[in-house]
Structure 1
Amino acid sequence: MTPTARVVVIGGGQAGLAAGYHLRRLGIEFVILDARSTPGGAWQRTWESLHLFSPAAHSSLPGRFMPPQPGQVHPDARHVVEYLTDYEKRYELPVERPVRVIGVHRDGLFLRVETDSGTWQARAVISATGTWWRPFLPTVPGRTAFEGRRMHTVEYSSPDDLRGRKIVVVGGGNSGAQIAADLAYDTQLTWVTRRPPRFLADDIDGRALFDAATARRRALDSGLSDTGGVASLGDIVAVPPVREARDRGLLKASPMFSRLIPGGVEWADGTRAEADTIIWCTGFRPALSHLAPLRLRGRRGRIAVHGTRAEGEPRLHLLGYGDWTGPASATLIGVGRPARDAVQDIGALLAAVSP
């Protein structure tokens, strides 16, 4: 017998839990299908030194403040996993794991959700799979010529097994700066960025970034001029480890190289840097392969949305993939509002189709 839920939430990370909170509040029957075997979403897979940009009180999901971490102003990833685990239990969210969703299909009045452990039928689906599981690697001349170790952000854990090595870190965003700062002391580091690094003012944290993203979305929705959002402030939050490495002169970025060579990288003028490891901090793409049967993806691999609702399938909402699915919706503090809006929209949809 095919199980049925009024709403199926795909993904049990922060976005899926925020959706679950609001579904519970409205009394809508739902299930959360999570591919991971334990709670915590992508926070289980981050590098060891990663800390939040904001204090705990400004890094919370709806309904429950994140408690402070003893001895830390900015909580680490382990604390976030503990918080998400507690959040899931506190609100008795119905999470089934590990369940990997293979595809979502139209099936008359329902959306059919096929998984590796069976098929679900749903009146509505919230996709909250995030981006961490789909790392992006740019095409670079000579990529196959390089003879050293190649890693992406998702594979980096700590400097422990890289001490004394010749490392090239590629990427001028937060992950590139934080990993470069992590490696600046015990490796021969070359940090490479496509443009000169833009550090945000030292007093700016995640709450200010959320406010900037929200102001931009409100301006665009009102037909006003683009405020620039977070990008107008800079690219890199100066969290304490980044600030310390920067102030000690250890974070000096080189422009992007032209190609890879067997023993490292080379610039257009013939300058070379030796490397036995390259870490690509080059971002992610939305993990949306499970939605391919709906044939909704357009330019740049995105699905056109109105708010969080897919324009080509009103029974589908996308949550937590970045600003295009809600201001700062890929952050703990930012996902609550678009989650609420998505659930309210689904509530109205269900009321309209109920007998």
Structure 2
Amino acid sequence: MTPDTDVVVIGGGQSGLAAGYHLRRLGVDFVILDAQPTPGGAWQHAWDSLHLFSPAAYSSLPGRLMPPQPGQTYPDAAHVVSYLTDYELRYELPIKRPVRVQGVHQHGQLLRVKTDAGTWHARAVISATGTWWRPFLPAVPGRDRFTGTQLHTADYRSPKNFAGQRVVVVGGGNSGAQIAADLAHDTELTWVTQREPRFLADDIDGRALFDAASARRRALDEGRADTGGVASLGDIVAVPPVRAARHAGHLKATPMFSRLTQAGVEWADGSRADVDAVIWCTGFRPALGHLSSLGLRGSRGHIPTTGTRVKADPRLHLLGYGDWTGPASATLIGVGRPAREAARDIAALLQRA
């Protein structure tokens, strides 16, 4: 059977665009399928005050520097959306949207990509769907009993929606600290974390984090001792709003509660607090349900890869899901290198075929 295209890229966010850039440079025939109706990937759904960790020049996709945002050292999410919109137009990337991929299946020597807008047959597939679409909620007792508002990072937008309310923010990572800082002035805030928050030094931003992730990958590839990467530096980047809230004494973490009650939360020692809302800043999982029919997951639910290439099927690459698919590959600046490697690997595979 003749394929409809050589490569289908699933996802039109930053990872899909980086893949498209390198595939275009290699002369590979491809299409990008994006479930979103407009450009910008997950950035268009972020909370209002979200800013990058790094200056624009250090937050760029391959081939095109992100222009600085006037008046901002660290660009906001809207600026990133504008940049990604311009990027796909500048390189005339073949993106079809909105197209939701329902499943990827074996079809002889090809892979069949079934969507709500038809079916594509391709020689290779790059999955670049990210994690935003699969928020993780921990199985905390009583979560179904609580009668107040519950939402995840992916659903949070603005403190104005919670003004004057008693709000619990759960999570000791960047999103938890940033959303807690966002809410600190307009709500009765309780910030709960599993362990004492670990703030990075104030002068560390995304540039240093990318360097640390890259150094760790080089050490592991060369058989040297694990440097610890970003985790060795801390968990929370002290971006200006977080730094200000911390210095004002608003970011004092409370240990994690043991369960939710109908009216609020309860700790292991029996103490309770009535609250109006709980915001779960508890992370995300890779959005890979469209690959379930291929049976690639190992015993722990993880798809084994060599770099971005799936070990069980060299026609399939995973891009942008974190360090396991390339150092800092879930970041704007970090996805370029693994995208290039995936594109080169696929081009070599097509040439051999």
Measured against the shorter chain, the TM-score band is over 0.9
Partner of 2:198: 198
Question: 1:301 deviation in Å?
Answer: 2.6
SS at match of 1:301: coil
- Name the aligned partner's letter for residue 272 of structure 2: R
Query: Which runs of 4 or more aligned residues in structure 1 lie more than 3 Å from their structure 2 counterparts after TM superposition?
Result: none
1:299/1:228 CA distance change after superposition, 3 Å = farther
Partner of 1:22: 22
1:135/1:300 CA distance change after superposition, 3 Å = farther
Q: For residues 115 and 40 of structure 1, what CA distance do their matches in structure 2 show?
A: 20
Q: For residues 205 and 300 of structure 2, what CA distance do their matches in structure 1 show?
A: 29
- Name the aligned partner's letter for residue 216 of structure 1: R
Q: Does 1:4 align with 2:17?
A: no
Q: Does 1:99 align with 2:96?
A: no
Which whole-Å deviations, capped at 9, do the CAs of 1:218-243 have from their partners, x for residues lacking one?
Answer: 11111111110000000000000000
Which whole-Å deviations, capped at 9, do the CAs of 1:38-61 have from their partners, x for residues lacking one?
Answer: 000000100000000000000000
Partner of 2:83: 83
Q: For residues 60 and 217 of structure 2, what CA distance do their matches in structure 1 show?
A: 21
Q: For residues 41 and 205 of structure 2, what CA distance do their matches in structure 1 show?
A: 23
- Name the aligned partner's letter for residue 210 of structure 1: F
Which whole-Å deviations, capped at 9, do the CAs of 1:53-78 have from their partners, x for residues lacking one?
Answer: 00000000000000000010000000
Partner of 1:215: 215
Partner of 2:168: 168
Equivalent residues of 2:3, 2:123 under 8 A apart? no
Equivalent residues of 2:55, 2:75 under 8 A apart? yes
Partner of 2:319: 319
Partner of 2:329: 329
Q: For residues 122 and 3 of structure 1, what CA distance do their matches in structure 2 show?
A: 5
Partner of 1:180: 180
Equivalent residues of 2:3, 2:110 under 8 A apart? no
SS at match of 2:119: strand
Which whole-Å deviations, capped at 9, do the CAs of 1:79-108 have from their partners, x for residues lacking one?
Answer: 000000000000000000000001101111
Equivalent residues of 1:3, 1:119 under 8 A apart? no
Identity of aligned residues (%): 76
Equivalent residues of 2:23, 2:30 under 8 A apart? yes
Partner of 1:268: 268
Partner of 2:132: 132
Equivalent residues of 2:169, 2:192 under 8 A apart? yes
Tell me which moved more, 239-248 or 141-150: 141-150
Partner of 1:250: 250
- Name the aligned partner's letter for residue 31 of structure 1: V
- Name the aligned partner's letter for residue 243 of structure 2: R
Partner of 1:44: 44
SS at match of 2:321: coil
Question: 1:300 deviation in Å?
Answer: 4.0
Q: Does 1:229 align with 2:203?
A: no
Q: For residues 67 and 313 of structure 1, what CA distance do their matches in structure 2 show?
A: 38
Q: For residues 170 and 288 of structure 2, what CA distance do their matches in structure 1 show?
A: 25
Unmatched tracts of structure 2, length 5 or more: none
Q: For residues 61 and 122 of structure 1, what CA distance do their matches in structure 2 show?
A: 25
Q: For residues 255 and 246 of structure 1, what CA distance do their matches in structure 2 show?
A: 17
Equivalent residues of 1:2, 1:119 under 8 A apart? no
- How many residue pairs match? The answer is 353
Unmatched tracts of structure 1, length 5 or more: none
Equivalent residues of 1:167, 1:187 under 8 A apart? yes
Q: For residues 20 and 143 of structure 1, what CA distance do their matches in structure 2 show?
A: 42
Equivalent residues of 1:2, 1:120 under 8 A apart? no
Question: 1:2 deviation in Å?
Answer: 8.9
CA RMSD of aligned residues (A): 1.0
TM-score by length of 1: 0.98
Partner of 1:113: 113
TM-score by length of 2: 0.99
